[in-house]
Amino acid sequence: MRDKVSFKKGDNVLVISGDDKGKKGKIVDIFPDKRQAIIEGVNFLRKHNKPTQKVPQGGIVKKEGPLHISNIKLICNKCNQATAIKRERTKEGKRVRVCKKCGEIIDKV
């Protein structure tokens, strides 16, 4: 079975490795096929823009770049810790993500 991407847009995550280790942010975009996510305020890339009529001097734009999901961990809303996730089914048969630390269901049911 293929390992599923356990993150969703809007999740709060902690960066656990790389230059931005220790930073927290919200996932603003996710690319499950590439196993990458863009996290608000994390992994800024500098992009040099060519001069335009509006900005004749050109400029450097900072933009969040994607991070591989192996570099991030979900922060549980309940216990506020970076945690691993397990997948469970509710009694109603709905698939939810559950915090391995406190056992709380992360997804709204």
Residues that bind Zn ion (CB under 5 A): 76, 78-79, 99, 101-102, 104
Q: How far is the CB of 103 from Zn ion (least distance, A)?
A: 7
Whose Cβ is closer to Zn ion: residue 30's or residue 99's? 99
Distance CA(53)–CA(91), nearest Å, equals: 60
Q: How far is the CB of 6 from Zn ion (least distance, A)?
A: 14
Distance CA(24)–CA(39), nearest Å, equals: 8
Q: How far is the CB of 34 from Zn ion (least distance, A)?
A: 28
Pair of tokens at residue 28? 């603003």
Whose Cβ is closer to Zn ion: residue 29's or residue 104's? 104
Q: How far is CA 102 from the centre of its chain?
A: 20
Whose Cβ is closer to Zn ion: residue 55's or residue 84's? 84
Q: How far is the CB of 31 from Zn ion (least distance, A)?
A: 26
Which residues 6+ apart lie within 8 Å of 18 measured at CB? 43, 67, 71
Whose Cβ is closer to Zn ion: residue 32's or residue 103's? 103
Distance CA(33)–CA(70), nearest Å, equals: 14
